[in-house]
Amino acid sequence: MKDSALVAVENLVKHFPVRMNFIQMLFTREKKKVHAVNGVSFRIEEGQTLGLVGESGSGKTTTGRLVLKLIEPTDGRIKFMGKDITPLKPKEMRPLRREMQIVFQDPLASLNPYMKIGEAVRHPLVIHKIGRNRIQQREMVLEMLEKVNLRPPEEFYNRYPRQISGGQRQRVVIARALITRPKFVVADEAVAMLDVSIRSQLLKLMVDLKKEFNLTYLFITHDLATTKYICDRIAVMYLGHIVEEGSFKDIYSEPAHPYTKALISAVPEPDPKIMETKKKMIPSGEVPNAIEPPPGCPFHPRCPYKEAVCSRIFPEVVEISEGHKVACHIYAKK
């Protein structure tokens, strides 16, 4: 039966080999690996936004790249528009590339400093042979620059990235991602480097463009607060695992996993009085080393609720209400 989700991943695994120098190789037999992603599964329905949230080192960026097949998974399956794309070679992926795009965190690093903005946005049209000729492609670029609020577009077309602000540069990157009219966009910390005021403008733009082009987003962020504006569902990642997934309301109103509760408690409140009374539960310590992840529940070294079983056995994923899933022994018992 054809999968109704636009994107579906099952038990996705990515382990990177650790590079060792000659001396280390002499004394170590075991080949060490970074366990970046360890059995991640999720689905994104067409027109929805899934927020992938976690601290640095949680595996969220690697997951985003795996979904787009920018890197090959060690194990697991990726489906796009109902088709299993896992075994596809780079050449076979090429026609699908125009349907799946990515917006990176740093717009300056994403843009060629010597290429004019108009040419940068036109480039994907050239690669995918879209548009009858250069004149038509230029018209398509001007229209897209207008849609991302770079006005007048003719003026922006001939500028270089260094001649515009950081927020405008990220608008250019979004325009370049959308010029091929993709169905699916991975936004990897797309607003993280921007000032707070510019951040909310960009989030609003992404929401407007999503409606206009019927886009589906995977919105990757370390900042749970930004998911408020854009996400329908949220998956919380910790050390390469999804520890909780639910609707936006589930995660904000009824967080279940101790790690999600800690993240929610750290979200700043607009009213400072509420912030004073809000109990912060940020766990001490850091995300453990992904080369030697702890046994059992990956969160147990930092969890204030841990029990003996937590350091021995990995918790199963339990659905605690419709579509709200959590991997924690507390809920497995109930």
Which of 281/330 has CB closer to ligand SF4?
Answer: 330
- Residue by residue, what is the 3-state secondary structure of 312-324? CCCCCEEEEECCE
What does the block give as tokens for 60?
């969220």
> Which tokens go with 217?
């987003």
Nearest to 117 by CA among 40, 171, 76: 171
* Per CB under 6 A, 241 contacts ligand SF4: no
Grouping H, G, I as helix, E, B as strand and the rest as coil, residue 234 is strand
Q: Is 297 in the site for ligand SF4 (CB under 6 A)?
A: yes
Listing DSSP states for 161-190 in one string gives: GGGS-HHHHHHHHHHHHHTT--SEEEEEST
162 binds ligand SF4 (CB under 6 A): no
User: Does residue 239 touch ligand SF4 according to CB under 6 A?
Assistant: no
Q: How many residues touch ligand SF4 (CB under 6 A)?
A: 14
- Binding to ligand SF4, residues 257-296 (CB under 6 A): 257-258
Q: Which of 32, 33, 43, 306 binds ligand SF4 (CB under 6 A)?
A: 306
CB of 194 or CB of 328, closer to ligand SF4? 328
For 157-168, b/e burial (b = at least 16 CB within 10 A) is beeebeebeebb
Is residue 325 involved in binding ligand SF4 (CB under 6 A)? no
Rule CB under 6 A: choose which of 299, 317, 324, 325 binds ligand SF4.
299
Q: Per CB under 6 A, which of residues 112..131 are in contact with ligand SF4?
A: none
**Residue 321 beta carbon to ligand SF4: minimum distance, rounded to whole angstroms:** 17
H helix intervals, the chain: 22-27, 60-67, 90-97, 107-110, 117-127, 134-147, 153-157, 166-178, 196-213, 224-230, 248-253, 258-265, 272-277, 329-332
Angle at 77 between CA 86 and CA 257, to 5 degrees: 145
Of the candidate residues 54, 182, 240, 315, the single one contacting ligand SF4 (CB under 6 A): 315
- By CB under 6 A, tell whether 329 contacts ligand SF4: yes
238 binds ligand SF4 (CB under 6 A): no
Q: In terms of CB distance, is 94 or 312 closer to ligand SF4?
A: 312
Cα 174 to Cα 70: distance, rounded to the nearest angstrom: 18
Q: CB 133 → ligand SF4: shortest distance, Å?
A: 58
Residue choice 111, 150, 310, 317 for contact with ligand SF4 (CB under 6 A)? 310
With CB under 6 A as the contact rule, the residue among 60, 261, 300, 325 that binds ligand SF4 is 300
- Can residue 305 be called a binding residue for ligand SF4 (CB under 6 A)? yes
Contacts of the segment 250-253: beta carbons below 8 A, 24+ positions apart:
250/321, 250/323, 250/324, 252/228
**Residue whose CB is less far from ligand SF4, 167 or 258:** 258
> What number of residues does the chain have?
334
202 in contact with ligand SF4 (CB under 6 A) = no
Q: By C-beta, is 9 or 236 nearer to ligand SF4?
A: 236
Cβ atoms of 262 and 247 within 8 Å: the answer is no
Residue 320 in the binding site for ligand SF4 (CB under 6 A):
no
- Tell whether residue 328 is a contact of ligand SF4 (CB under 6 A): yes
Give me the residues paired with residue 241 across strands. 238
Applying CB under 6 A, does 330 fall inside the site for ligand SF4?
Answer: yes
What span, in angstroms and rounded, lies between the C-alpha atoms of 202 and 168?
A: 9
Q: Which of 38, 303, 317, 325 binds ligand SF4 (CB under 6 A)?
A: 303
Closest alpha carbon to 149 in 205, 196, 197: 205
Q: Which residues bind ligand SF4 (CB under 6 A)?
A: 257-258, 297, 299-300, 303, 305-307, 310, 315, 328-330
